[in-house]
Amino acid sequence: MAHSAPRRHLDASDVGIGWSRFDTRCAFVLVIFTVFLHPVAQMLNRPYWLDESWVADLTRVDWLRAMSLSSSTPVGWLALARLVPGSSLERGRLLTLAFSMASSGAAYVLARSLAWPSKSSARLAAVAVAVAVSCVPIALVRNDLKQYTGDAFFALVLLAVVRWVDRRRRPSAVVWLGVVALVACPFSTTSAFVAAACFGGLLISAVLAREVGRIIATAVTGAVVALGLLAMFAVTVWSHISGALEIYWRRDYLTGGILQGPQQTWHRLQHLEHALAMPAVVAIVLFVVGTVVLARMGETALAVALPLLWIEMFVAASLRRYPFLDQRTFHFVLVPSVGLAAIGAFGIVREIWRRVPIAGLMIGALVAALFGLGVVPVRQSVAFTSEDARAQTQFVAKSMRSSDVVLVNSSANWGFAYYWPHGRVRTLRSAVVANGFVAEVAGLDAVYASGRTPAAVFRALRVALDRQRRTGSRSRIFIVRSHITRYENDAWTSAFSRLHVHPLSIPVGPEPLLLVAPADQHLHPAPQQLPSASG
């Protein structure tokens, strides 16, 4: 029986840790630095857009109901969103910011703990990785009430844990990876993919080292964790995924099999060049170099885990189980990959600096400048969507009389329910919308369009007109519309024409509120005649 070489005792200097108060201060500064990269004032004042509104609605219903309707939102993330303190209606976005900050700290810890040859190299690499993770455009634009920054944070944490487990070399240490994976999953369902890649990397590391005890411990623990994650998915994810959601993501799956998959991947990476602040080919080269740098440092499990994660997601997308290279849902893969690319860039600069110090400094400055040139335009143009169901809803609430009718289009129902003053959100299951439910204001007898199709729009408008006629000659119809597509706008234009309705536009925000009223019914701000092709 072959025997592996005796293992040398590993101390702090071997694994490049040597953590001190200086590192704590560095990590703290980088975490705080992340705050100044994001438009915090806008985050606390700009109204939620469609995808945020339905998550916000679930913070207003009882917990069991929220869990049953959570759809693609992890239940842990939803629980945290419900606990955010404050009075701002948009305070939930602070949770997104908190995880962006935490990701910067996690990136510093991960890169700092690698087996760099010196403390100075470890600290410089850690700063470079943390800055890259915080400043890359895909991170700068993540300011909405969705779980994607949490996904990136837990991915970085799992990668840091697998690195620690791999360097410990003790079979029992793998249990910690399992514990972290199980704890992370309720807050980030995508952490299950990362955990699978981490266990795969750890298993390959143990096989290459021919350590039978670690192989067995990793395989057994991985199997137990897999069962636990499958149970969580069965309870909190699969039972809530609707057919409409699968249809929504259909365009983001990979089609055409193994031969066309790489070509589609390349094209999608090219479309993400602006979001990555670097050309696709540069990102790929630096990713590969970063993997080599990790392997040369003996960080085997980590060097294997990230490429394995890409392979895993490629297979999942080919099987039509997860969207591939979508900027939001792929955030948990892209952010660690940017961190690995930063390790690759630092490794190249360091090797040049060792041979020709001045050349290393100049190339390092050039790399930083080029990355900055890709970041600054995005940083200056970070903006929120122009959707504003809040302004329309609050205006209606102030202006509405008992005889008036409210008509809400299918995309505005979540925002309307959330922003209605002193109202209680009522949720109804729906197989038509991707998130599996619609929201209404309990106790308010409004008309809600059931879809965006011409038939659904026509039917809703006719119901509102019938209700208006029954309530009296002075009755008005307020039409709240948000997230209007060209297709739906055509449906509304057609419905107005067929039913001989000439609505007025009330400019209360970027999305105008529409009013159908007798000529003597005045409002402030003054309504305007709606053009025939209004959107």
Secondary structure, 3-state, 46-94: CCCCHHHHHHHHHCCCCHHHHHHCCCCCCHHHHHHHHHCCCCCCCCCHH
Cis peptide leading into 531, omega within 30 of 0?
no
User: What's the distance, CA 128 to chain centroid?
Assistant: 23
Q: Estimate to the nearest angstrom the gap between the alpha carbon of 197 and the chain centroid.
A: 20
Instruction: Give the pair of three-digit tokens for residue 288.
Output: 């590969």
Quick check: 425 and 443 in contact, CB under 8 A? no
Q: How far apart are CA 250 and CA 253, in angstroms?
A: 6
**Three-state DSSP string of 488-504:** HHHHHHHHHHHCCCCCE
What does the block give as tokens for 153?
A: 């944070």
- Integer angstrom CA distances of residue 122 from 13, 164, 225, 287, 507: 11, 15, 32, 19, 56
* Per-residue tokens: 409: 């289009």
Take residue 96 and report the two structure tokens written for it: 């997104």
Sheet containing 528-529: order of strands: 447-448, 405-408, 477-480, 513-516, 504-506, 528-529
Residue-wise pLDDT for 378-408, tens only, equals 877 777 788 999 999 999 999 999 899 999 9
CB 145 within 8 A of CB 48: yes
Lowest mean pLDDT among 9-18, 296-305, 342-351, 392-401: 9-18
Query: How many CA atoms lie within 13 Å of 334's alpha carbon, on the beta-carbon side?
Result: 27
528 confidence band (pLDDT: 50, 70, 90):
low
Each residue of 294-316: pLDDT tens digit?
Answer: 999 999 999 999 999 999 999 99
Q: Which pLDDT score is estimated for 330? A: 96
The structure tokens 């200097």 sit at: 13
Q: What is the mean pLDDT of residues 325-340?
A: 96
HEC sequence for 434-459: CCCEEEEEECCCCEECCCCCHHHHHH
On the 0-12 / 13-18 / 19+ scale of CB atoms within 10 A, 445 is exposed
Compute the residue count for the chain.
535
Q: Which of the four pLDDT bands, split at 50, 70 and 90, describes residue 11?
A: very low
Dist. CA 397–CA 480, nearest whole Å: 11
10: pLDDT strictly greater than 60: no
Distance CA 169, CA 450 (A): 58
What's the rounded Cα separation, in Å, for the pair 62 and 524? 37
Among 345-354, 406-415, 427-436, the range scoring the smallest mean pLDDT is 427-436
- SS3 of 514, please? strand
Q: Name residue, tokens 């057994």.
A: 220
CA 184 centroid distance within chain: 15
Distance CA 255, CA 278 (A): 26
Check residues 518 and 488 and name the one with the higher pLDDT. 488
Q: How many CA atoms lie within 13 A of 507 on its CB side?
A: 5
Confidence of residue 353 (pLDDT cuts 50, 70, 90): very high
| Cβ-based burial of 390 (10 A; exposed 0-12, middle 13-18, buried ≥19) | buried
How much is the average pLDDT of 327-339? Answer: 96
Q: What is the pLDDT of residues 84-105, one digit of tens each?
A: 998 899 999 999 999 999 999 9
Pick the closest to residue 182 from 152, 238, 227, 236 (CA basis).
227
For residue 214, count other CB atoms closer than 10 A to its CB: 24
Region for residue 42 given its phi and psi (left: phi exceeds 0; alpha: psi -120 to 50; beta: otherwise)? alpha
- Identify the band that residue 53 occupies on the pLDDT scale cut at 50, 70 and 90: very high
Largest CA distance in the chain: 97
C-alpha separations of 154 from 12, 102, 130, 419 in Å: 25, 9, 15, 31
Instruction: Pick the more confident residue, 5 or 311.
Output: 311
Q: How far apart are CA 407 and CA 432, in angstroms?
A: 19
Sequence-distant (≥ 6) Cβ neighbours of residue 349 within 8 angstroms: 360, 363, 364, 367
- Does residue 473 surpass a pLDDT of 80? no
Alpha helix (H) residue ranges in 272-356: 273-276, 280-296, 300-318, 331-355
